[in-house]
A and B are shown apart, each in its own frame.
Chain A
Amino acid sequence: MIEMMANNSKKYLSLADEDLISMVGGEDPDAFAALYDRHSRAAFSLGYRIMGQRQTAEDLVQEVFLKVWRSANSYRAGRGSVRTWILSIVHHRGIDQLRATASRQRTKDRFEASAEKSQPSEAFAETWRNSQRDQVREALKTLPEEQLKILELAYFSGYTHVEISKLMNLPLGTVKGRMRLGLKKMRDYFDSRDVAVPR
């Protein structure tokens, strides 16, 4: 039995995410465990970045992976990788919760309190194991601080462009412009190196 389980583990390790998610759709808990082991760290990191607390991030990630288990059949490969799909669920649910629990003041406080930590010199000091993450972080480094801050407020804290313009006391057009320029700069980073955008 132990040998059979070890062989099973090896089999799952060698399978692509797309194969695993299709097996999860057929209610294979071992395939699900393999997907969890591959992507739970990225999901938890994003959940923690959005929620700001380990316990709420934990609850969020648990909810997300149960959704992955129950809705694996709704994954469409044409819309992005399995990792992107899982992280998009983390993002949407996390932002929904932030907005629903009226914790915006806490988010604002956290943003202001962590402003120093968000400076590129510290934010990018960590060594990254994942090469795609390395590339994304390098791409973010090319953004001026004012563009990066607006992307982070929108993406991680769930603020609308109108709210950001009030929060930062900037004209709405400026906020939209910085969003556009920030995203374009990220795209340019990959284009200029002739590197495919990670998906």
Chain B
Amino acid sequence: MTDMNRGKFDDLKDAYALGALPEDEHRDFEAYLQAHPESQSEVEDIASIAALLAISPAGQEPPKRLRRSVMAMVNAESANSRQERRQASPPSSWRASLDRLRDAFPARIALGAAAALVVGLLSWNVLLQSEVQTLDGQNSELQAEIEAARAGADGTGGADAGADGSRILAMQAEGEASGSDAEVMAFEGDRAVLVAQNMPTLPDDQTFQIWVIDDGGAQPSGLFQPGEGPVATVVEQSLEGAETVAVTVEPSGGSPQPTTDPMLSAQL
């Protein structure tokens, strides 16, 4: 149990606001705050002054590659998340509505109900169109990032090495994926995003799985589904020391080790 009291609280509140309490005192202080919520605003007031220190350092311009790297990951996560939502079946509320309408409405007003459903489905279609436009925008941004990385190539460290350490590696496509285009965008040598388009369609119970291969074998590094446009996926394993990035078809949910031959591969 804490021996914190009002006097000790006053003694420690400035150090707390600066984040300068040792662990045990920090714990006691927070326990006191929880027991005395009326003191919270007092601490927040001091913390708001301490927080001003955050804007005092000399200005440092972040490198452009940082923006590219962050946006590539954000766009990849956003695209994956939207794709997952699109793959989900239409909202169950639609099916439930249909069932309820069938049960509850007599035949003579079924036509009106059907008309209402058509209006609803049209609205849904408009929403989907809007989503497609948003995805188009994201793809454009992704393409712009790829172009920017290409433009950054300085020609001295290989045709695909950017001046800021970024690299774009074209992937070899084989078998059913031979008509596909895929690239690995590597940042600072170890982080990467895989961008693929024109991939073959897969049944619902299969997925594409990315592998980073090094001396220790193949490490599972992310899953993705084919889309109508480019699909960007974060490569979850570091590329440091890796020899190859490959993509195989695996059962839905992925496999701990590859179970089929690579459809795409890039030597690092």
Q: Chain A residues in contact with chain B, CB under 8 A?
A: 1, 4-5, 8, 27, 29-30, 32-33, 36-37, 40-46, 48-49, 54, 57-58, 61-62, 65-66, 69-70, 79-80, 83-84, 87-88, 90-92, 95, 123, 126, 128-130, 132-133, 136-137, 139-140, 151-152, 154-156, 158-162, 164, 176, 179-180, 183, 186-187, 197-199
Provide the residues of chain B in CB contact with A87, threshold 8 Å: 51, 54-55
Docked complex Cα distance between A194 and B141 (Å): 45
Docked complex Cα distance between A46 and B53 (Å): 9
Q: Are B15 and A176 in contact (CB under 8 A)?
A: yes
Provide the residues of chain B in CB contact with A41, threshold 8 Å: 59-62
Q: Are B66 and A137 in contact (CB under 8 A)?
A: no
Docked complex Cα distance between A40 and B21 (Å): 29
Given known A-B contacts A5-B140, A29-B78, A58-B66, A66 and B73 have beta carbons under 8 A apart: yes
Q: Is the interface of A mostly helix, strand, loop or mixed?
A: helix
Q: Are B18 and A154 in contact (CB under 8 A)?
A: yes
Top 5 nearest A-B pairs by Cβ distance? A49-B57, A154-B20, A44-B62, A87-B54, A154-B18
Q: Are A84 and B51 in contact (CB under 8 A)?
A: yes
Provide the residues of chain B in CB contact with A69, threshold 8 Å: 74, 77
Given known A-B contacts A161-B15, A176-B14, A183 and B50 have beta carbons under 8 A apart: yes
Q: Are B18 and A179 in contact (CB under 8 A)?
A: yes
Q: Are A29 and B141 in contact (CB under 8 A)?
A: yes
Q: From residue 48 to 73 of chain B, which have CB atoms closer than 8 A to chain A? A: 48-63, 66-67, 69-71, 73
Q: Are A45 and B19 in contact (CB under 8 A)?
A: no
Select B20's contact among A65, A91, A159, beta carbons within 8 Å: A159
A-B contact pairs, 22 of them (CB 8 A): A1-B136, A1-B140, A4-B133, A41-B60, A44-B62, A45-B58, A58-B66, A65-B70, A69-B74, A70-B77, A79-B44, A87-B51, A88-B54, A136-B53, A151-B50, A156-B53, A162-B22, A164-B20, A176-B11, A183-B46, A197-B49, A198-B52
Docked complex Cα distance between A131 and B221 (Å): 46
Given known A-B contacts A62-B70, A66-B73, A91 and B61 have beta carbons under 8 A apart: no
Q: Are B19 and A155 in contact (CB under 8 A)?
A: yes
Docked complex Cα distance between A66 and B69 (Å): 10
**Apart from A36-B67, A48-B57, A152-B53, what 6 extra A-B contacts exist at CB < 8 Å?**
A1-B140, A29-B75, A61-B62, A151-B50, A160-B15, A186-B49
Docked complex Cα distance between A126 and B41 (Å): 34
Provide the residues of chain B in CB contact with A197, threshold 8 Å: 48-49, 52
Q: Are B60 and A57 in contact (CB under 8 A)?
A: yes
CB distance from A141 to the nearest CB of B (A): 10
CB distance from B7 to the nearest CB of A (A): 13
Provide the residues of chain B in CB contact with A37, threshold 8 Å: 67
Select A62's contact among B17, B49, B54, B69, beta carbons within 8 Å: B69
CB distance from A28 to the nearest CB of B (A): 8
Provide the residues of chain B in CB contact with A88, threshold 8 Å: 51, 54
CB distance from A138 to the nearest CB of B (A): 10
Provide the residues of chain B in CB contact with A139, threshold 8 Å: 52
Provide the residues of chain A in CB contact with B66, threshold 8 Å: 40, 44, 58, 61-62
CB distance from A71 to the nearest CB of B (A): 13
Closest to A157 in B: B20
Docked complex Cα distance between A197 and B52 (Å): 9
CB distance from B151 to the nearest CB of A (A): 18
Provide the residues of chain A in CB contact with B54, threshold 8 Å: 42, 46, 84, 87-88, 90-91, 155
CB distance from B235 to the nearest CB of A (A): 15
Provide the residues of chain A in CB contact with B55, threshold 8 Å: 42, 46, 83, 87, 130, 132-133, 136, 198
CB distance from A127 to the nearest CB of B (A): 10
Given known A-B contacts A36-B67, A66-B70, A176-B14, A58 and B77 have beta carbons under 8 A apart: no
Docked complex Cα distance between A155 and B136 (Å): 44
Given known A-B contacts A33-B71, A161-B21, A58 and B15 have beta carbons under 8 A apart: no
Docked complex Cα distance between A57 and B73 (Å): 18
Docked complex Cα distance between A45 and B55 (Å): 8
Docked complex Cα distance between A133 and B54 (Å): 9
